[in-house]
Structures are given as C-alpha cells and as structure tokens.
C-alpha cells in the first residue's frame, strides 16, 4: 500500500512540475507589449470582490471563533489563511505584469487571476478542508509558474497556513483595538452659546 502511495505521489509531483514548466514557457512565448486596452480593462475588480468576501469572512470569524470547536477553528483559520495568501500574491503578480509589459506573461497572470477569483467565492468559506486543498492544488502550477517568473517563491502549503495564521491574528488584534464609535455620532453638535458684548450687557442693566 505504501509503495502505491509513494508511486502516486511521485507521479503527481512530476505532473505538477511539468505543468509549471509548461506555463512558464507560455509566459515567455512572446515579446509583444500589452495593448493599452487590455491594461485599462484590468482594473483588479475580480480580486477586489474576492478581498471583500475575505473581509466579510474575517469579520464573521471574529464574532463566532469563541464558540467553535478546536477542529472547526483550525479549518476556519486555514481557509482564511490560504485566501489571504492567494489574494496578496495575485496582487503582486498583477503589479509585476503591468510593469513588465509583456503580453505572454500578462495572459498567464489573467488566467491565474480568473482561477483565484472563481475559487474565492462565497461558497469557499464553507468548504471542507479536502475541498479547499484540492482548489489550491488545482491553482498551484499556474501560481508557481507566475510567481517564479516574478522572482517570488511559493512556500509549501503548510508553511503558508502557518505564516498567514500570524497575519490573521495580528489583523484581529488590531481590529479589537479600534475604539467604538461614540454615542450619538453623526448628530449635529449644539451651537455654542454666544457671548454677550459690552454693549449688549449695558442694555440689559
């Protein structure tokens, strides 16, 4: 049984590495510049939407985390950590793609952007650990290829979760330090009482 598992793992790694190299070759296929229209159309709305859902997920987690079992707590933190990493990484790759001004690499980035944004939808935050890991593994070859062409390393998934657990904890801590809105905020303050002038005081005597 162990021999079969080792063989399957070896095959997976080989297929993964082949895919990464294939995507990297696609990203270097042409030296054409990115048409201005394509750059303008890439406003980052897809990742902004994914980030909005992430923020909602973090807000919900901050309200319910105390009532979660240890297992559910780990699952929730893992989902959020992976989402935080993916969004941050796609943003960095987008910045590189626009600066690099290479059409082949830009097309590769767009494929990654679309895959990540279609993964990090509302349903993502209720997926099982196996489903989350499978989604990540589906995106990993493209993610690794884009990152490698940008000079960015992609740590193993376990290290990503460990690192972004810290980022999540810091974010929740900062959110807890935010002062509550003062009561009655938004109401107009009463106008200050006008001081009487010397002339007005004489008239009242």
In a domain, 19, yes or no: no
Candidates 54, 23, 15, 26; CA nearest to 143 is 23
Percent of the chain residues past pLDDT 70, beyond the cut:
80
Quote the pLDDT of residue 64. Answer: 84
In a domain, 34, yes or no: no
**In which domain, by residue range, is 57 found?**
43-172
- Write out pLDDT tens, residues 20-30: 999 999 999 98
In a domain, 62, yes or no: yes
In a domain, 103, yes or no: yes
- Write out pLDDT tens, residues 118-174: 999 999 999 999 999 999 999 999 999 999 999 999 999 999 999 999 999 998 888
In a domain, 18, yes or no: no
Q: Which residues contact 128 (CB under 8 A, 6 or more apart)?
A: 75
In a domain, 56, yes or no: yes
Count how many domains the chain has: 1
């Amino acid at each position: 049984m162990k021999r079969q598992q080792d063989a399957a793992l070896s095959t997976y790694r080989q297929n993964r590495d082949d895919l990464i190299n294939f995507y990297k070759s696609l990203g270097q296929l042409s030296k054409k510049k990115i048409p201005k229209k394509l750059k303008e159309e890439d406003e980052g709305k897809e990742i902004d939407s994914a980030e909005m859902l992430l923020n909602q997920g973090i807000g919900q987690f901050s309200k319910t985390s105390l009532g979660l079992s240890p297992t559910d707590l780990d699952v929730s933190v893992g989902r959020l950590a992976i989402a935080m990493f993916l969004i941050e990484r796609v943003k960095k790759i987008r910045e590189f793609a626009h600066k690099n001004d290479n059409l082949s690499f830009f097309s590769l980035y767009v494929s990654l952007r679309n895959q990540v944004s279609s993964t990090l939808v509302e349903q993502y935050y209720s997926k099982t650990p196996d489903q989350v890991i499978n989604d990540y593994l589906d995106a990993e070859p493209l993610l690794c290829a884009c990152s490698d062409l940008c000079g960015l390393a992609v740590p193993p998934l376990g290290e990503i979760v460990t690192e972004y657990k810290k980022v999540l904890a810091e974010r929740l801590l900062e959110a807890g330090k935010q002062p509550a809105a003062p009561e009655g905020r938004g109401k107009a303050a009463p106008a200050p009482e006008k001081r009487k002038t010397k002339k007005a005081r004489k008239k009242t005597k």
